[in-house]
Structure 1
Amino acid sequence: MPGSGDDVASEAARKVMREFEKNGQSVDAALVTWSPETLRKILTEDLPDAQVIVVSNREPYIHNENKKGDVELVVPASGLVSALEPITRACAGTWIAYGGGSADHLVVDGDDRLQVPPGNPSYTLRRVWLTDEQYQGYYLGFANEGLWPLCHIAFTRPIFRDSDWEAYEAVNRKFADTVVAEARNEWPIVLVQDYHFALLPRMIRERLPEAIVITFWHIPWPNSEVFSICPWRERILDGLLGSSIIGFHTQFHANNFTESVDRFMESRIERADAAVSYGGQTTLVHAYPISIEWPVELLKALPSVEESRQHIRERFGIPADAKLSVGVERLDYTKGILDRFHALEELFIRHPETIGQVVFLQIAAPSRGTLPAYKQLHEECQRFAEELNERYGNETYRPVVLVAEHHSQKDVYEIYRAADICLVTSLHDGMNLVAKEFVASRDDEQGVLLLSTFAGASRELLEALIVNPYDAAMMSEVMLQALTMGPDEQRERMRRMREIVRDNNVYRWAGSMLLDAARLRKRGELDRVTALSERPANTNGDNVVSIFERKQAAGYR
């Protein structure tokens, strides 16, 4: 097993960098013990004096006012937050996000800033305020009724409105203003997150041309024919191509993006370099599979697997002799919740001996409940769960337990540990971190993961039981395989998946992007030196170069 510590982290980063220069890929990254120290070493040695700015819609800490008028802290159970928060801590950066909590404005300073995490501050949270109208148009409207269904193959028709687009553009501009205000110099590293900010990279580039802008698109990117539905497709692509680097979870989604650019924009595709040349600028388009922080401290704080099993079964009224299958996600039509219900019914029809032997616990956190598609999904899930319970249950047995509530990370991990089977059967997903969280939670090396072939995680977690969520019959047979799998096979599969998630953690994801950024910055400095040396001479025989330009080209910051 590789060593740890500052020297190892530094040498590991250099190894990755050398491999990067040769192939454009971090082939040696598996040799690195990826940790906060590794990231700090990359920043210190390869990106000296770099300021890291993260931009996302969701904030890592929310302050709400309760009924008594007291301020309560909420840590959202969000895959994006859980991935980015340890990165921002390690980089001592600034996180810019929408301040949506009812008491958010009460705890910031005069510049709308707050030092976080509470009790052990290591970075700055800068909140951006939006009106209800802006939030409705930008977030609920264009982002989630337009781009979200456009990018997910879930057969929900996208809705595009001029007023939503105008709000989306205005909010992106507002965040660009905030990035510029927070930047300490002209060359920050800005990590733009997700489909809420497709226009932001270009807006930042116009104001801070020396910045390294890394945009990560957390959801799938559709093929060019589907993308052509968007009325503002060229504006979206132009905005994203303001990035220095654009990242996706899988190479498939990166290829779809490149094909969309090739079809709709006057550009040159450099396929060998995985890059796009557009408007005199080159943008790298790479795949960076996101992951989680290996939860060492969280696992220490949790009850044992047996205690977790007992507690969860008592809490939800699950018989001691029934196998427990779980699903944990937001209540969203892309997650395939109804399809799991269909597969469970198919299991009961094909194998009636399983009735009474399995319970499906679905944790479905309410999400975007004001949108019609989400209201309809909630009603359908409740109705289907009630029908299954009426058809196959009795006074002491409910085959489906549907819990439409938010749960803390600790509660979710306890549910993972109590489960015999975890179903991650998304109809379409960029990555899906639930699959990786379930694997990380199982230090007993037991449990079975059913994983959709349409989730990015299926490209890494090959020892999971891979399923097509649209095929209820096939899903039911795989569920039976999971229910009857012996402990030795479970251990063999889980051990390999745990190695993958532990080694390919969130620090590797971020480190790979930062190493790309370092390579771009070095290349830019070399280009400036070359350009300055080729300047025409003045009448005194000296190159016409200012002292500031010479210092900047030489790397003095």
Structure 2
Amino acid sequence: MQDKMNVQDNNSDLDPLQSVLIDPHRSRLNRLRTFLDPGKLTSAVSRALADAKTAISDRLNRPDAAGAESTIAHNPNDWDLARLRTLIGQELAGSDVIIVSNREPYIHSAGPDGIRCAIPAGGLVSALEPIARGCGGTWIAHGSGSADRETVDDQDRIQVPPDNPSYALRRVWLSPEEEKGYYLGFANEGLWPLCHNAFVRPIFREDDWNHYKTVNARFADAVIEEARTEAPIVIVQDYHFSLLPRMIRERLPNATIVTFWHIPWPNAEVFGICPHATEILDGMLGSDIIGFQVPLFRINFVECIDRTLESRINHENWSVRYGGKTSQVRTYPISIAWPDQPLRTAISSPTAREALGIKPGAKLILAVGRLDYTKGIPEFLQAFEDLLTQHPEHCGRVHLYYVAAPSRGEVTSYRTLHKDCLRISQAINDRFGTEDYKPLLFADRHADRDELSRLYREADVCVVPSLHDGMNLVAKEFVAEREDEQGVLILSRFAGAIQELPEALAVNPFDLSKLTATLRAALKMPRTEQTERMRRMRETVRSKNIYRWAGRLLEDAAHVRARNQLLRRGAQTQDRLARAPLRSPSEISLRKTTRKNDAETPGS
């Protein structure tokens, strides 16, 4: 029988009362225990009321939308790159830090003009590279570039960044069969749809599972080879490496291992579909810290452990005792780096609108995301068509620009989705388009950072219609770029970002009628209301940035490492005392007498 404690957690995101109310999966016995203990219930209610009072006071003390300055004041306690570097210098100076991810921070590709080095798109690199640079550590990743092999040394390493080398990139090579089985197969045809509760059936092939295990073992070998000490800090990224923490733990028992799971974690019933659920949970519990985006994913993960493994779960501090070791389960909502350019009072010149052929005065709705079935693209396109059908006054006056970067084209479900989106887009344009009006521009390509920045600044509405998302950084990118404090964000309530951005217009992307109505409301929102909502969202994104994410994760890792070092020293002391021979009182008295006589003897 597992031993659970459901008491107030000062350091967790949810107190027991909140957990009981929102967690229908927690065992009835534990819920009953909480409510039968008056002291705990009273404490939970008191803390909840105090938190609510603080939050309300916080809101009331914010500047008014109408009278406040548009510039966001800098708080010296905010996280930025300088503070992160200070933390690394204080807590991790000289530490052996190893980062493991599927995607590499620098890719070398061969072209007609020679070898070109590029930084992949996404928030992962911007989040983790300051850690690697500050610690002078090692980043282990799959070498996927066409010229990656040509640029490494005989140990598959290359010093990066190219202009100022400060850490080592260790590349791991995969065969086409391994990449297909591990990455496209088990990770993205199995775990990806499983964890996103997508209406795409997860596929679990035994060959894919074997490749997944093989690749995880190969990355474990790389970690062991790159470790300079017996107790490195290893930061493991995402669902590609659920088995890796246990593999590292077995060979480096004193390592401090942190695993961050970027995507959602499903409830126990859904996760139980996976035929390798036990092995995955066992693998992840090789970590000292397991991080998730939002509290619900943490709750789901702990519930999966409860139903699958013989363990001891402590809800007071969100820890799991399993196999003689304790793992902390934490939440670290990932974010973006706040733009470092000076704030402007107006948006840039409308070059993006001109390039899209949008007439002055017309409204621009923007959506950005990977071409993925979890992003709700067909559903949103249908809602846009319904908007034009039900409100024909918007025809000729509203444009939708959807930037959908192709992804995983080798997977059948992704190819089918791509074709469906193109077909729906063409049908909308055929129905509502004219010689000088094209309502829908569907760009199935990658857009660079500068192009996206211009689009974010010039869009009237930005829509994130995800069916399920761990966080979704597009929402935060849009907010960060709106220095004019205008624009409306429509955000799926199934995206993790909605918990940090309640000022967005929350929608259920499965409810097309409500999505259509929300689109219309966004197009008609007064500028004063746009300013009020956007100002508060910008405050949140600025303060809860990517450096805060990395800093909190590193602080917890440093504390866990320090605690484990103390425990190891204590165990060593106890072991040394236990091995020392025991002496009787008469032997101790005789030894003292002998030493006294020796001291009194002349010439001794």
**TM-score for the superposition, normalised by structure 1:** 0.89
Match of residue 77, structure 2, among 23, 28, 32: 32
Aligned-pair CA distance for 1:71: 1.4
Aligned residue for 1:4?
none
Alpha-carbon distance change, 204 to 373 in structure 1, aligned in 2, over 3 angstroms:
same
> In the alignment, what sits opposite 1:548?
none
Q: Which residue of 1 aligns with 2:162?
A: 118
Report what 2:242 is aligned to.
198
Which of 274, 285, 295 lines up with 2:318 in the alignment? 274
Aligned to 1:133: 177
Contact 1:87 1:507 in 2 (8 A): no
Instruction: Name the counterpart of 1:227.
Output: 271
1:52-94 C-alpha deviation (Å, 9 max, x unpaired):
211111112211112x262122322223334333443344332
1:357 aligns with 2:385: no
Is the CA contact 2:346–2:483 (under 8 Å) kept in the aligned structure 1? no
The residue number in structure 1 matching 2:557 is 517
> After the TM superposition, which of the residue ranges 178-187 and 191-200 deviates more from structure 2?
178-187
What are the equivalent positions in structure 2 for 1:92-491 lying under 5 Å apart?
92-297=136-341, 305-307=347-349, 310-491=350-531
Task: Give the counterpart of 2:94 among 49, 66, 88.
Answer: 49
1:343 deviates by: 1.1
In structure 2, C-alpha distance between the alignment counterparts of 1:41 and 1:211, rounded to whole Å: 23
What secondary structure, in the 3-state scheme, does the structure 2 residue paired with 1:480 have?
Answer: helix
C-alpha contact (below 8 Å) 1:319/1:397 kept by paired residues: no
Residues 326 and 421, structure 1, Cα contact 8 Å, conserved in 2: yes
Deviation by residue 1:216-263 (Cα, 9 ceiling, x = unmatched): 000000001000111111000010000110000000000100000110
The Cα offsets for residues 106-155 of structure 1, whole Å up to 9 and x where unpaired, read as: 12222222222232333222111111111000000000000000001221
Partner of 1:9: none
How far off its partner does 1:326 sit? 0.8
**Equivalence for 1:7:** none
Contact 2:348 2:454 (C-alpha < 8 Å) held by counterparts: no
> Take 1:89 and 1:133, find their aligned partners in 2: how far apart are those partners?
33
Residue ranges of structure 1 left out of the alignment (5+ in a row) = 1-21, 542-557
Aligned mates of 2:373, 2:345 — CA distance in 1: 33
Query: Cα deviation per residue 1:162-210 (whole Å; 9 max; x = unaligned)?
Result: 1100100000011111111111111111110000000000011111111
User: 1:247 & 1:476 partners in 2: Cα distance?
Assistant: 35
Deviation at 1:540, TM superposition (A): 7.9
Partner SS state of residue 45, structure 1: helix
Alpha-carbon distance in structure 1 between the residues aligned to 2:126 and 2:441: 26
Task: Give secondary structure in 1 for the equivalent of 2:373.
Answer: coil
Query: Residue 115 of structure 1 aligns to which amino acid in structure 2?
Result: Q
* CA offsets 1:460-512 (integer angstroms, 9 cap, x no match): 01111111111111011111111111222111111111111111111111111
Offset of residue 407 of structure 1: 1.7
Q: Counterpart of 1:43 in structure 2: which amino acid?
A: I
Structure 2 contact 352–458 (Cα < 8 Å) conserved: yes
Three-state SS of the structure 2 residue aligned to 1:272 is coil
**Residue 501 (str. 1) matches residue 541 (str. 2):** yes
Are residues 85 and 395 of structure 1, via their aligned partners in 2, closer, same or farther at CA, if it must alter by over 3 Å? farther
Q: CA deviation at 1:46?
A: 3.0
Distance 1:93 1:413, change over 3 A: farther
Aligned residues: 514
Whole-Å separation in 1 of the counterparts to 2:499 and 2:537: 12
Distance 1:336 1:388 in 2: 17
Which TM-score applies when normalising by structure 2?
0.82
Residues 82-91 or 283-292, more deviating: 82-91
Whether the 8 Å CA contact 1:37–1:90 is kept in 2: the answer is no
Say which is worse superposed, 142-151 or 107-116, in terms of deviation: 107-116
Structure 2 distance, partners of 1:454, 1:327, is 16
**Equivalent-residue separation in structure 2 for 1:376 and 1:153 (angstroms):** 19
2:267 and 2:303 in contact (8 A); partners too: yes
SS in 2 for 1:334: helix
For the residue of structure 1 that corresponds to 2:316, the secondary structure is helix
- Cα distance in 1 for partners of 2:152, 2:125 equals 20
Q: Which amino acid aligns with 2:188?
A: N
Residues in 1 aligned to 2:252 and 2:346: alpha-carbon distance in whole angstroms? 51
Residues 26-46 of structure 1 show CA distances to partners (whole Å, capped at 9, x for unaligned) of 999x97321233233333333
CA RMSD of aligned residues (A): 2.1
Identity of aligned residues (%): 54
Which residue type is aligned with residue 72 of structure 1?
R
How far is 1:104 from its partner? Answer: 1.1
Contact 1:332 1:377 in 2 (8 A): yes
Q: Secondary structure at the match of 1:206?
A: helix
Shift of 1:532: 3.0
Alignment CA distance shift 1:487-1:304 (3 Å): closer
Q: How many Å separate the matches in 2 of 1:522 and 1:467?
A: 44
Q: Secondary structure at the match of 2:469?
A: coil
Paired letter, 2:317: D
Q: Structure 1 counterpart of 2:166, which letter?
A: S
Aligned partner of residue 127 in structure 1, secondary structure: strand
CA offsets per residue over residues 250-289 of structure 1, 9 Å max, x none? 0000010000011011111111110111000000111111
Segment drifting more, 310-319 vs 339-348: 310-319
Give, as a single letter, the amino acid of the residue that structure 2 aligns with 1:242. Answer: G
Structure 1 residue matching 2:258: 3-state secondary structure: strand
Residue 10 of structure 2: which of 12, 23, 48 is its match? 23
Q: Is the 8 A contact 2:94 2:135 kept in 1?
A: no
The question of whether the paired residues in 2 share the 8 Å contact of 1:193 and 1:218 is answered with yes
Q: Which residue of 2 aligns with 1:526?
A: 566
Secondary structure of the residue aligned to 1:423 is: strand
Q: 1:25 to 1:153 in 2, by over 3 A?
A: closer
Distance 1:82 1:338 in 2: 31
Q: Structure 2: how far apart are the matches of 1:422 and 1:321? A: 17
Alignment of 1:81 onto 2:125: yes
Give the secondary-structure state (helix, strand or coil) at the position aligned to 1:469: coil
Aligned mates of 1:444, 1:534 — CA distance in 2? 64
Q: Which amino acid aligns with 1:441?
A: E
Q: Could you list the per-position Cα deviations for residues 365-404 of structure 1 after superposition, in whole angstroms to 9, with x for gaps in the alignment?
A: 1100011000000000000000001111111111110111
Counterparts of 2:87 and 2:253, CA distance in 1: 23
Q: Given the superposition, is the C-alpha separation of residues 534 and 74 from structure 1 closer, same or farther in structure 2, using an over 3 Å criterion?
A: closer
Structure 1 residue 325 displacement after superposition? 0.8
Q: Secondary structure at the match of 2:321?
A: strand
**AA of the residue aligned to 1:449:** L
Q: Distance in 2 between matches of 1:101 and 1:532?
A: 47
Q: Is the 8 A contact 2:98 2:137 kept in 1?
A: yes
Aligned counterpart for 1:539 among listed residues 569, 572, 581: 581
CA distance in 1, matches of 2:462, 2:440: 14
8 Å CA contact retained: 1:250, 1:289:
yes
